[in-house]
Structure 1
Amino acid sequence: MKGKIADGEARDRLIIWIRRRMEEFGISIEALSASIEHDKAHPPLYRDARGHEWNGLGDMPDWLLAARNAGVNPDFFRIETAPDVITPSEIQSATTQLIDRRQLDLFDAA
């Protein structure tokens, strides 16, 4: 394995690098934890093809503002929200709608 970094070593190096950047920018563990909790409480509502996201709080970001100024409706970038809970009857209904009954005989054992 000469010249290659083992997974454990790569992980350790990454942790050291992250800790140094946190120290460099004055980011505490508490601030990082609070930011993660905030992101969980305010998931993104808009996303573009490049992965830019916006949760609808604060000023509209440049990427979405530029799209709107170009005539694109911001709702085009709106993320579809999935229902929190899917009931078994909803699963059955969706499955039934996807089945083409004309092709069922193709899968019957002869």
Structure 2
Amino acid sequence: MATKTERAEAIRWIQAQMADYGLTMEELEAAGCFDPTPAPPQPPTPRPVCYRNAAGQSWDGQGEMPDWLRRAVNAGQNVEFFRIG
């Protein structure tokens, strides 16, 4: 890893080269000298709802069955009764 002195020397050299050739940061950026700014992370796309009860509670069918649906199934209701679509 470069020391602080080596980094400072490298920066001075780059600045001198830019001055000698009349280069600007904008020109270097346009030439692709820098990594593009990464796009901000996008929120995950919500999964479509597969099951819903009369109170509006829903479940996408992924992961553990929610309490409201588990209670209904334990009470004898068929899970397909709550399927939508």
Kindly name which structure, 1 or 2, has the bigger radius of gyration based on alpha carbons. Answer: 2
In proportion to residue count, which structure has more helix? 1
> Which one has more relative contact order, counting CA pairs under 8 Å at least 6 apart?
2
Task: Return the TM-score normalized by structure 2.
Answer: 0.50
Task: Return the TM-score normalized by structure 1.
Answer: 0.39
